[in-house]
Each structure stands twice: as structure tokens, then as C-alpha cells.
Structure 1
Amino acid sequence: MTAEPLATAVVTSLVRDATAAPSMHNAQPWRFRYDAGRGTIRLYGDPERAMPSSDPQGRALHLGCGAALFNLRVAAAHAGRAPDAVLLPDADEPWLLAEVRLDRPVRRDDDLAALHPAIHRRHTSRFPFTDEDVPSGVLDGLRAAARLEGARLHIPGAWHVDEVLHLVHDAESRESLDPEAREELLRWTGTPGGASAGEGIPVHAFGPRQHDVTAPVRDFAAGRALAGRGSATFEKRPRLALLGTPHDGPLDWLRAGQALERVLLQATLDGLVTSLTSQALEWRELRWALRDPVSSMGHVQMVIRLGYGPEGPATPRRDVEDVLETA
């Protein structure tokens, strides 16, 4: 059965939900095109929001767009439409990342809509987490969420966490000495000369400066003092999860982005707070060392810090009119 074409207000709402997804430095590297005649929404990567120094292959761009695609799927299911998504549908259009058909009613057994309440509750928290353990049943649920999208979620042991933290600190040092990487960071943050309203990471979302750098939380102040920004002691033993895929191409990155957002939304519903760490992934010579050599994970796509603590503040989003075109 074919459903009626979507009203303009519904399409706007779907895209607004999609753009609540996380992306590297909140650059929001996506564009959408709605074709009422075909009942589809196309998702495009936006090369003007790429980061050639920190993300030369566009891996992080694809992850962010994949996360937005997953939110679109959840929002569509919540609106009663079955989101039939095809990844990389046209080899002649490399920036066309996905096409989602929305001309059928959602199936009764579709569980995506249950995640919808978390879309606008999920925010990155760059604040200290408590020492409370995350129950094994909750972790199992997050692992299952990743598998549903074709990815794996690995919970590293103590020695592996120490190695991940070492690699993150190594990446921080490398970034501080790389003028191009620092320039990209400043472009998308709330420091002087940074991003404009509606994009990037504002100062209020930086979180406090760490007394002792024990948690993998990126310092977007880039070592500069900011008025009104305090400091805090973070958890000594951060709880980390590694999201990965067997292979490492654009298709895998889009799948990983969807898996990432499913994990984050499920974690939000479970009462967890999260932050993402990509610094060590931005250096080819460090990224390979992140994975556990005895695990079956081929390529780490994201490091997730999770636990219990204060929710992070919302970061800005561009107006839907700026990212949505209607055919």
C-alpha cells in the first residue's frame, strides 16, 4: 500500500530531527532534498563543511551523515512511515550518500519509533561522570544496538583503556603542534574567530577544564583561558566503548554512523550520558593501535565515553531551511 505524500510540515519535522545528530565539531556536513513525486528524501554530504586536515578521507563526515540518516529513519517511523534507505545509490554522485523512500506505512513490528524521545534529549556531556558502574545488561543492550546496524561495540578492559587514553593524549600533542589542525579546530569552536551562530561548538558546551587529564574529553579551548570557565576533577577510570566495522570504506562509515546514533539514543533512554572522542582516529599512525588485537573488530570508527552524570547542554543547529531543498 502506498501512503499519501508527506505534508511540508512533516518533511520539515523529519529533517529537523535528522539534524539533531552529532557531527565532528558540530559542522553539520549534510544537505537534504525532498522529492514529493517519488516520496523520497535524499541525503547529501556537504563538502564545504569538510575538514581536509583532520578528516582528509571524509570518514568523520560520513559518520555524521550516517547519524543524521539514522535520526531520519527514527523520525519517519515515529511519523508512521517505513524508512526504506539505500546507501550510496548512485556511483556517479559521490556526495549523494543515501536515498530514503517514505511512501509506505511503517510496519507494526518496527522498533525504531521507540527511540524517538531520545533524539532531542541526547547531548554530548563534557562534564565529569560518576564512578557508578554501568550494569552489564545495559552494556549488552548497547552492543545489540550496534549489531543491528552492522557494526560492533567493544567494551575494552583496563589495560586497553589505558592504551586508548595514551593514544588520545598523543593525538592532543600532535594537534597542538599542527597549525592546520588547530586552524580547523578554531573555525568550528566558540573561541575568537570561531564558528557563527547555528553551527560549531559554543563555549558553554566546552565543559570544565580538567584538573588532571584522566578522561578523553577534548579541550576545545585549545589551551587558552576563557572567562567564566571553571575546572573540575574528572573520573579516574573512564568507561569507554569502541565502535567499529569489519571494513573501512564510505559504505562502512555510513553504517557506523547509523550504529553510533542508535547506540547513543539507546544509551540516552537507559539514563546514560555520553561524549565522543575522535582525536586518535584523526591520525592514521595512531588509529590502527586503538583496536584490541584479540577482538574481531577490524577498524575503530569512534571512541565513546559513557556513564552517569550531568547531561550536556544543547549545541546549535542550522535552520531546516538552510539544509532542505524541495523538488
Structure 2
Amino acid sequence: MAEEALDANTVTGLVRDATAAPSMHNAQPWKFRFVRDSGIVQVRSDLERAMPRADPTTRALHLGCAAALFNLRVAAAHAGWEPATELLPHAADPQLLAMVRLTTPVSPESDLAPLYPAIHRRRTSRHPFTDEEIPQAIKDALSAAALLEGARLIFPGAWHVQTLLDLVYDAEGRDALDPTASEELRHWTRVGADVTETATEGIPDYAFGPRKRDGKAPVRDFAGRRRVPGRDAATFENAPQLALLGTADDRPRDWLQAGQALERVLLQATLDGLSTSLTSHALEWPELRWAVRDPQSAMGFVQIVLRFGYGPSGPETPRRPVREVLDIE
């Protein structure tokens, strides 16, 4: 339990846990600042890691930072601190996404600490999943997890899943014809042992997963046309189990709620024995994004598409040293 003021070592550990969060292309677009006198950890965006082509509004950047914020909340609760959180506290400082005050002991009723074991077990898996259906009780629990953070998670029916897959295929075709998209993707991928062994950001080739020989799972091929020595091919599932996570509105506050909901869902899914991956491919094209949502749903805006299933976990991907993302005042 927390009994005294936070010290630098404790905060460093909390931020290390926070940065295990997923982000688009593993760009890790976050910064943290700890203000000793107030016991506040600030979560800030790092616009130097924005992606002008794939994410011109910085919506995905907000999702990644919010996922890190949620991990910070979980880690704080695990360490005995109540993470009193305020989103977008200063309109004049839009890069200050949240402040987390850590000055009081965590409530015994907190539901955050039990999620802690999943923080470093959660991995993005770009491997085939089995055809085993996820029990409805687990789906309901994941949907409930999203609601706790102010977002919605729905599992679309077969017709909508096929629409999603068609939209992803459309996005892949558009990307193939867009040299800017190809260059941006290349910037955030690492191919070859000489660079993957020292990388602290981006997606290394060992995390690409196998090439898709067959199947319909929406798994982006980060290799593009590049050859990756030793990379196998595999058959993916033909009936991927997808879910849509979204919000009623589409403002920065909604993105921050969605990112926290995303990480809560991913951590819960990990504890439930599921493998997970994410796709934003169709959402990166404004003219496709509107078609991703289910018109019969109350969800106004889809923020991310998740793929769940039973299969191998993905490998751990590199993270920047905490000293590069944390300032202590």
C-alpha cells in the first residue's frame, strides 16, 4: 500500500508499465512528466511521432497515449495509489492529455489492480487463430469493460464482418497506389538483424507474423514488397472474430476515452486467454471510415477494429528507455 510520497524510482516503474501499451506502428507517441510537489504524473503527446498520412487528425496518436494512460492507472493501483485522473485539463495546452494525481491510497473497491498481470503479457499477434468460437460470456465481459471507460464494444454479425473485410481490402489497394503511405509505413518498420536488435521503436520484422497464404483475417503485411529471410507463409482464419470499439462523438476527449477502453479490453482479453490484434487500416481513409460502423448500432464513430481468437501470442516489441519519455520536476 502507498504510505508516503512517490519517489523517482517508483514513478519510473509506473511509466515503464505505462509504455507497454500498443500504439500505431509502435511509434510510442507519448511523454510523461512527474511533478514531485503535487504528486501528479502528466501524460503528454509527442507530435514528432505523429503520422501525417495515416493519422492526419492525430486520432490514433490519442488512442495510443490513452492506452498508456490506462496502463499507468492500473500500475498505480497495483502499487497502492488511487489514480485520480483528469482528461484535457488545460485547453491552452492541447498536448497535455491527462493528469494523474497519486496522493491517496487506492480504494479497496478498485477494479484496476487485478488487470496488472496482463500489462506485460499483452502482445499483438499477427498469427493465425483457430476456429474455436469465443464464449458469449467472455464477449459480454469485454463489452462491459469498454463501457466502464465510456466506450462501446460490439461484435458485428457475419454480413458486417464481410463488409469490414471488403473495406480493409479496399484500403490495402489504396495504400499500394499511394507512395506517401508506403514511405510512412517503411519509416516505422525494421527489417534485418542489424536494425531489429537495436531498435527501440517501430515494428521489427520478427513481429510481422507469417505471410498470408490464404484466409480472410485482416492482418496488415508490414513487409510490403520487402523480402524477410526465414519468414513463413500460413493460412489464416476465414471467419475472423472481429469487434468494433467506438464512441458516440469524435473529439479528442472521445479518443482518450476510447484508448483507455481499448487497453482495458485488451488486458481483460489477455487474462481470459485470448490472443489479440488491431487494425485501423480502413479507418485511415476518411471516405471508408464512415462505412465501417454498423448503421443499426448506436455507436457513432468507430475508433479501432479488434481481432480476437485463440492462437499464439505475438513477440514482445521494442520500447524506448524510460529516461527518453519521462521528465521529473
TM-score (norm 1): 0.98
Instruction: Provide, for residues 97-145 of structure 1, a one-character-per-residue CA deviation record: whole Å limited to 9, x for no partner.
Output: 0000000110000010000000000000000000001000000000000
Does residue 8 in structure 1 map to residue 27 in structure 2?
no
Partner of residue 28, structure 1:
28
Does residue 68 in structure 1 map to residue 46 in structure 2?
no
In the TM superposition, 1:136-285 aligns within 5 A as 136-191=136-191, 197-285=199-287
Instruction: Provide, for residues 286-324 of structure 1, a one-character-per-residue CA deviation record: whole Å limited to 9, x for no partner.
Output: 000001100100000000000100011000000000100
Q: Percent identity?
A: 64
Partner of residue 293, structure 1:
295
Aligned residues of 2:215 and 2:237 also touching (Cα < 8 A):
no
Greater mean deviation of Cα atoms: 194-203 or 205-214: 194-203
Partner of residue 82, structure 1:
82
**Secondary structure of the equivalent of 1:274?**
strand
1:303 to 285, 302, 305: 305
Q: State the shift of 1:4 in Å.
A: 2.1
Greater mean deviation of Cα atoms: 188-197 or 146-155: 188-197
Q: State the shift of 1:7 in Å.
A: 1.8
Instruction: Provide, for residues 51-92 of structure 1, a one-character-per-residue CA deviation record: whole Å limited to 9, x for no partner.
Output: 011100000000000000000000000000000010000011
1:320 to 304, 319, 322: 322
Aligned residues of 1:246 and 1:297 also touching (Cα < 8 A):
yes
Q: State the shift of 1:274 in Å.
A: 0.2
Aligned residues of 2:8 and 2:328 also touching (Cα < 8 A):
no
Aligned residues of 1:146 and 1:153 also touching (Cα < 8 A):
yes
Structure 1 segments (4+ residues) deviating >6 Å:
192-196
**Secondary structure of the equivalent of 1:115?**
helix
Instruction: Provide, for residues 129-181 of structure 1, a one-character-per-residue CA deviation record: whole Å limited to 9, x for no partner.
Output: 00001000000000000000000001000000000000001001111111111
CA RMSD in angstroms comes to: 1.3
Q: State the shift of 1:222 in Å.
A: 1.0
Aligned residues of 2:66 and 2:256 also touching (Cα < 8 A):
yes
Instruction: Provide, for residues 14-37 of structure 1, a one-character-per-residue CA deviation record: whole Å limited to 9, x for no partner.
Output: 000000000000000000000110
In structure 2, distance between residues paired with 1:90 and 1:319: 28
The answer for unaligned runs of 5 or more in structure 1 is: none
Aligned residues of 2:21 and 2:68 also touching (Cα < 8 A):
yes
TM-score (norm 2): 0.97
Partner of residue 91, structure 2:
91
In structure 2, distance between residues paired with 1:270 and 1:234: 22
The answer for unaligned runs of 5 or more in structure 2 is: none
Greater mean deviation of Cα atoms: 125-134 or 172-181: 172-181
Q: State the shift of 1:247 in Å.
A: 0.2
Q: State the shift of 1:226 in Å.
A: 1.4
Letter in 2 for 1:250: P
Q: State the shift of 1:3 in Å.
A: 5.1
Aligned residues of 2:148 and 2:261 also touching (Cα < 8 A):
yes
In structure 2, distance between residues paired with 1:265 and 1:112: 10
Greater mean deviation of Cα atoms: 67-76 or 179-188: 179-188
In structure 2, distance between residues paired with 1:254 and 1:108: 26
Aligned residues of 1:127 and 1:207 also touching (Cα < 8 A):
yes
In structure 2, distance between residues paired with 1:113 and 1:261: 14
Aligned residues of 1:67 and 1:260 also touching (Cα < 8 A):
yes
Letter in 1 for 2:75: A
**Secondary structure of the equivalent of 1:207?**
coil
In structure 1, distance between residues paired with 2:5 and 2:175: 48
Letter in 2 for 1:33: R
How many residue pairs end up in the alignment? 326
Greater mean deviation of Cα atoms: 3-12 or 32-41: 3-12
In structure 1, distance between residues paired with 2:302 and 2:210: 27
Q: State the shift of 1:225 in Å.
A: 2.2
**Secondary structure of the equivalent of 2:203?**
coil
